[in-house]
Amino acid sequence: MKRVLFLSNMGPSKEKPNSGRFVKNQYDFLQEKGNYEIEYFYLSQDVKRGLLKLLRYPLFAIKFLLKYVFGEKIDIIHVHFFFPTVFLAIAYKLFRNPRVTIISTFHGSDVYHYSPPSWSYRFACRFVNHAIFVSKSLKNRFMENIEFTGSTSILSAGILPIFIMNRKAVKKYDFVFVGHMNFNKGIDRLQKITNKQLKIAIVGELDTSQLILRDGNIAFDFLGVLEPSALTEVYNQSKFFINLSRNESFGLVIAEAMSCGLPVIATDTDGAREQVKHDYNGFLLCNDDNWLDTHGAQKLQECLLLSDSDYRRLSFSAIESAQKYKLDSIACEVEKIYKLHT
């Protein structure tokens, strides 16, 4: 049986249990299928300070070298979050097994944050046999700057089968917002275009929620970080999913919400443009702060005034759109890629 190593710099920790959750989900699903012997080596997102913070990556690299370069033999290394983690895979190829296949899934930040790419980024790309991109737009951005000679495919990380519609659920929230509450995810935009008449559920990390609490402009239930089963309940208790990101390669939470039957209201990003079809499974908003300040609140009100028949049409279309993002389908495609390169 071929051995596959999942390698990621974005792993879960006690402080951040959902960090890289989609990578862990894919690993668990592939491991359960049993067609490959799969291991998972990751850098946890424990909060470090002082010297330990500086030594996080060096210690991660040393542990990898001791365990794999000087130890176990691997047939495929599947890197999640390409740079600079890929250099560990390259070291394994150069010093342990020159026949190893290196596959990398690009999730977004590993392209956006390195544009234009440095010489070391370009150099590392030469060792990748197959590149997986979570959206077509992300692939196009990558290819604009890199002369990549390996094969490519477009696959999302995949959503768990637990995210399904509950027709008996009571809709207690007008909108649900899920994600890290930071500038890129548009938490500041949420404050500006909503008001206290709206009922909003917010799911995510607590550390920056004071931004909302100080403003006092919106009424919300802050639910913190939720396990998938609890998150499914919140999705089903909400009428719409709202995503106001400034940059998004692929919105996994958008796919989760759609799978539960929620029409999506999203700003026009690379990911949302591929997932959300305007007036089919949701609505796209102009990704501009001034436009949102002027028109955002009105657009939300228009959504809430939709007729029951129009809402059901959007809801059923959302469910249909999410089927291709199911984890079982994604896992099958990943295994096809593994087979192609072994």
pLDDT digits (tens, 9 = 90+) for 67-107: 998 887 899 999 999 999 999 999 999 999 999 999 999 99
Residues 300 and 239 in one domain: yes
Which segment of 22-31, 116-125, 199-208 scores lowest on mean pLDDT?
199-208
DSSP lists the bridge partners of residue 72 as none
Residue type, 45: Q
Residues 292 and 330 in one domain: no
Residue type, 28: D
Q: For 249-273, what is the mean pLDDT?
A: 94
pLDDT digits (tens, 9 = 90+) for 269-289: 988 999 999 999 999 999 999
The 8-class DSSP code of residue 166 comes to -
Residues 136 and 202 in one domain: no
Residues 62 and 115 in one domain: yes
Look at residue 163 and tell me if it is in a domain: no
| CA pair distance 98, 174, nearest whole angstrom | 55
Look at residue 167 and tell me if it is in a domain: no
Which residue shows structure tokens 């005034």?
305
Residues 213 and 223 in one domain: yes
Look at residue 164 and tell me if it is in a domain: no
Q: For 114-132, what is the mean pLDDT?
A: 95
Residues 187 and 297 in one domain: yes
pLDDT of residue 69: 87
Confidence of residue 210 (pLDDT cuts 50, 70, 90): very low
Q: Name the residue with higher pLDDT: 215 or 241.
A: 241
Look at residue 151 and tell me if it is in a domain: yes
Q: For residue 195, give the CATH number of its domain.
A: 3.40.50.2000
| CA pair distance 285, 290, nearest whole angstrom | 12
CA dihedral over 182, 156, 44, 65, signed as positive or negative: negative
Residues 189 and 321 in one domain: yes
Residues 152 and 7 in one domain: yes
Look at residue 150 and tell me if it is in a domain: yes
Look at residue 293 and tell me if it is in a domain: yes
Q: For 111-133, what is the mean pLDDT?
A: 94
Q: For 125-148, what is the mean pLDDT?
A: 94
pLDDT digits (tens, 9 = 90+) for 297-328: 999 999 999 999 999 999 999 999 999 999 99
> Three-state SS across 47-110?
CCCCHHHHCHHHHHHHHHHHHHHCCCCCCEEEEECCCCCHHHHHHHHHHCCCCCEEEEEECCHH
| CA pair distance 22, 253, nearest whole angstrom | 10
Beta strand spans in the chain (E)? 3-11, 37-44, 76-80, 101-106, 130-133, 151-154, 173-178, 199-203, 219-224, 238-243, 264-267, 282-285
Residue 17, pLDDT > 80, answer no
SS3 of residue 286 by DSSP? coil
Residue 214, pLDDT > 70, answer no
pLDDT of residue 260: 98
- Residue 241's domain comprises 173-325
Confidence of residue 217 (pLDDT cuts 50, 70, 90): low
Confidence of residue 213 (pLDDT cuts 50, 70, 90): low
Give the strand pairing for 37-44 and 238-243.
Answer: unpaired
Q: For 185-207, what is the mean pLDDT?
A: 85
